[in-house]
Amino acid sequence: MSWLSKLVIGALVIGGVIVFLDDSPSKPNEPVASKVDLNRILDVTVNEILSFESILGEELRQRGDPDLALFAFSESLQKSYNETAPALHTSPVAIAPLVDATLLVVEDLNMDGQVQDSENTLWTIEIDGQNSRVIASSWQGEVRDSNVGGMGGFFAGYLMGSMLNRQSVHGTPSNVAQKRTAAPQSNARSRAGSGSHFRGK
């Protein structure tokens, strides 16, 4: 059994059948206490994208299932976030891939590996194909990016191609392209997961 098959089967055993749910509008929650280091988060994210594409990109291309690619990558990235040392956050995190390929990362309070409406958003990950960037935004309003334009073929892999295609169909690439780095906002509020996303049932 391939590594991809084990990953997906393991996730399905934990989370059940993958479905699309619409959780909007989102509800405000109490802000989490700690500030996250978006630069470290971007380093982990970009490295995981490169590793994932290198190991599984061709197999995913042969399967031709973009939903599987996004779900499997979210599971793999969630594992990397939680195993990074020093820890990226004071508690474990869970990831929900939104229908526009944005990755929503929440504080996994009940440690079940699933995103719940009551759990606070910590940060999001977006792909900016127009400017060759990976963007991380925190609930505090901070925005940081990693320019991957110098990494030849970064956007040529199956995962990145399917994420950009999903973004063009369900999202607004121009809005992502216009995002600029920003400092945290002291009056920002954390929000629960919002929008349509994959969820274990």
| 3-class secondary-structure state, position 169 | helix
Query: How far is CA 85 from each of CA 4, 79, 82, 106, 151, rounded to the nearest angstrom?
Result: 24, 12, 8, 18, 25
User: Is 152 a residue whose pLDDT tops 70?
Assistant: yes
Taking only the tens place, the pLDDT of each residue in 27-62 is: 344 444 458 999 999 999 999 999 999 999 999 999
Q: Cβ neighbours of residue 7 under 8 Å, at least 6 residues apart?
A: 72, 75, 76
pLDDT value for 74: 97
Instruction: Using pLDDT thresholds of 50, 70 and 90, give the confidence band for residue 89.
Output: very high
Predicted local confidence at residue 12, as pLDDT: 40
Q: For 129, which DSSP code?
A: T
| CA neighbor of 38 nearest in space, from 132, 173, 170, 144 | 144
Higher per-residue pLDDT: 25 or 157: 157
Mean pLDDT to the nearest integer, 104-109 = 95
Q: Are 93 and 195 in contact (CB under 8 A)?
A: no
> Sheet of 133-138: strands edge to edge?
93-97, 103-107, 121-128, 133-138, 143-147
The model's pTM is: 0.80
What's residue 186's pLDDT? 64
Percent of the chain scoring above 70 in pLDDT: 75
Asked whether the beta carbons of 73 and 44 are under 8 A apart, the reply is: no
Domain ranges of the chain: 3-200
